[in-house]
Amino acid sequence: MNEQHCGYVSIIGRPNVGKSTLLNHLLGQKISITSRKPQTTRHRLLGIKTENGNQIIYVDTPGLHQDKHTAMNRYLNRAASSSLVGVDVIVWLVEALRWWDEDEHILKMLQGSNIPIILAVNKVDKVKNVNELLPYLKEVTAKHAFETVFPISAAKGDNLIELEQKVTQLLPISPPFFPEDQITDRSERFLVAEIVREKLLRRLGAELPYRITVEIEHFAEEDNIIHISAVIWVERNGQKAIVIGHKGKNLKEVGQSARLDIEKMLDNKVFLQLWVKVKQGWYDDERALRQLGYKEEY
């Protein structure tokens, strides 16, 4: 048998570049929520993949946020920076043909780090003219001593097998740290709350601030049905009305699509109840954040 590799891999990059999409695709299962809105990912989350005796432990992190003025953004930045230490490999995602200030900021943070970095140029499926891609790849390759640069599509799955082979090669030789069938370090409760939050983010337009969080109050199996009740916390009564929608339409649709995803994840029939409640100022209150589960865990 070949030697076994095992280690931690950070997936980093600016918000919206496709980190969670990549993680879900690599794991073949949804554990990290995605949407077009920044701040979709708020927690550090492990995605574990064991194949042929090798184990890759992916760390999905919130993007770095430049606005440091709220407790939430400070929390997100701590979670994101901590992913740059103590890992064996970094996969840094940028978007094809784009180079943002935030990318420049990340490049500065990485300078001086001796962790091997793979640059993954994502969303290449959006590039109409391949001739444009080559000069871009050349330009970004020159920015740092990367292990390698891969054009990928996290959404379509292009080049991900090659990416994963390279990642595995770079991991230390070690037996697996986690049991073979474990795919994340998070509880089902946590994943359920995240699915509800994803549906809210997708369902509600720009009018709703992302100042929303979800707390699971009840999670129990009775008569082969999993009964779940969740509270959606908002900051103001006006936001509550928006979340509920005209005649409860929004909340109903969020509940329906969340239930379908949760049933798929848990492989069980689910009864889901959603409540919307107001907690003023939770977003900028360190204590309220901790109560709602935004705790340091690293």
| Pairwise CA distance, residues 235 & 241, whole Å | 11
Q: Which has the closest alpha carbon to 114: 86, 81, 80? A: 86
122 interacts with, out of ligand GDP, Mg ion, none, CB within 5 to 8 A per kind: ligand GDP
Beta strands in 43-191 (DSSP E): 45-51, 54-60, 89-95, 117-122, 148-151
To the nearest whole angstrom, how small is the minimum distance from the Cβ of residue 42 to Mg ion?
Answer: 9
123 near ligand GDP, rule: CB under 6 A: yes
For residue 248, the 8-state DSSP code is G
40 near ligand GDP, rule: CB under 6 A: yes
Helix or strand (DSSP H, E) at 107: helix 101-110
Nearer to Mg ion, 28 or 179 (CB): 28
Q: Which has the closest alpha carbon to 63: 45, 77, 75? A: 77
63 interacts with, out of Mg ion, ligand GDP, none, CB within 5 to 8 A per kind: ligand GDP
Sheet architecture: strand order including 269-278: 213-222, 225-234, 269-278
SS3 151: strand
16 interacts with, out of ligand GDP, Mg ion, none, CB within 5 to 8 A per kind: ligand GDP
Nearer to ligand GDP, 40 or 168 (CB): 40
Single out the residue of 5, 9, 10, 34 in contact with ligand GDP (rule: CB under 6 A): 34
Single out the residue of 2, 36, 131, 247 in contact with ligand GDP (rule: CB under 6 A): 36
* Binding footprint of ligand GDP on the chain (CB under 6 A): 13, 15-21, 34-36, 40-41, 63, 122-123, 125-126, 153-155
